[in-house]
């Protein structure tokens, strides 16, 4: 474990760390905010999964989450969105390859060697955090933006009991039917539609649902709204009678101006579940 930086932040510490990953076969970097309460013992954790083109740094510096997490005594984890390095497969398009891991375990070449982001985010990084930092492995929640919202929703529904609550900002809700999904799933997973279904929030909602509270915000002026398909997830949630708050926020787009505007709502939402 290499400490890249540690800065005082709202009474706690915002750190950035690098480690060799067995899952991805390369070095991975993540951000971790620990509130002041972590000096006394393990604190609840809110995971934040970022979207296309992002690194660990985007939400860490743009979302304004630390101030709200400090008020609630929560840790924040900011993983990277993909493996990185000169020997890691990439693509010229912004929505495939480095920065676009889609939180799946790739099974197709040339991606399979390094693109094991599901295992990294759901298995390896949690073990590293609980072994090295004052975070509570029992009290965890998850959120994310866009591609990261897709990752948060699928992780919450596929791992029953892991997360007490889930939320998302502008999530990709039905990737099996969207150009933000079909392209990446074909590249990473091939034509196996059963494998696709395990990473589709709408299909998982129809099949499994989530045993806990759910909050989703999307802007009415999101420039990618047709790719996100929030109406599909809302219909599946209604059919399943899933407890969920799904909001369309008037005038907001896909940017971090939108995310930061509603971050306090999401942190407070998770704090209620984590401290219950």
Give catalytic residue positions. Answer: 146, 222, 254
Are 268 and 68 a contacting pair, CB within 8 Å?
A: yes
* Cα–Cα distance for residue pair 43/257, rounded to 1 Å: 28
Residue found by looking up tokens 């579940």 in the block:
273
Q: Which structure tokens are listed for 102?
A: 């889609």
* Cα–Cα distance for residue pair 110/8, rounded to 1 Å: 41
- Output Rg (C-alpha) for the chain, integer angstroms: 17
On the CB side of 174, how many CA atoms lie within 13 Å of its CA?
17
Degrees (nearest 5) of the Cα angle 202, 204, 207? 115
- Displacement of CA 89 from its chain's centroid (Å): 22
Name the nearest CA neighbour of 44 among 125, 130, 123, 109.
130
Are 236 and 209 a contacting pair, CB within 8 Å?
A: no
* Cα–Cα distance for residue pair 225/34, rounded to 1 Å: 34
Degrees (nearest 5) of the Cα angle 97, 181, 78? 60
* Cα–Cα distance for residue pair 15/7, rounded to 1 Å: 6
């Amino acid at each position: 474990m290499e400490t890249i930086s540690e800065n005082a932040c709202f009474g706690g510490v915002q750190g950035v760390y690098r480690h060799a990953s067995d899952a991805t076969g390369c070095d991975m970097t993540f951000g971790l905010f620990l509130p002041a309460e972590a000096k006394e013992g393990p604190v609840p954790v809110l995971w934040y999964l970022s979207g296309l083109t992002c690194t660990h740094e985007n939400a860490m510096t743009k979302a304004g989450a630390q101030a709200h997490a400090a008020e609630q005594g929560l840790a924040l984890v900011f993983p990277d969105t993909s493996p990185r390095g000169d020997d890691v497969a990439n693509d010229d398009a912004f929505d495939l390859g480095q920065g676009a891991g889609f939180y799946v375990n790739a099974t197709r070449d040339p991606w399979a060697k390094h693109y094991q982001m599901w295992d990294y985010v759901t298995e390896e990084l949690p073990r590293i955090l609980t072994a090295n930092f004052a975070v509570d492995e029992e009290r965890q929640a998850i959120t994310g933006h866009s591609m990261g919202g897709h990752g948060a929703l699928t992780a919450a529904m596929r791992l029953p009991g892991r997360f007490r609550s889930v939320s998302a900002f502008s999530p990709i809700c039905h990737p099996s039917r969207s150009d933000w999904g079909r392209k990446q799933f074909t590249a990473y997973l091939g034509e196996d539609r059963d494998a696709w279904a395990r990473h589709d929030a709408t299909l998982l909602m129809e099949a499994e649902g989530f045993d806990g509270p759910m909050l989703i915000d999307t802007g009415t002026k999101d420039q990618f709204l047709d790719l996100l398909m929030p109406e599909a997830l809302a219909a599946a949630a209604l059919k399943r009678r899933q407890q969920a708050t799904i909001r369309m926020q008037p005038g907001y787009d896909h940017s971090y101006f939108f995310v930061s505007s509603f971050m306090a709502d999401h942190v407070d939402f998770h704090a209620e579940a984590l401290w219950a």
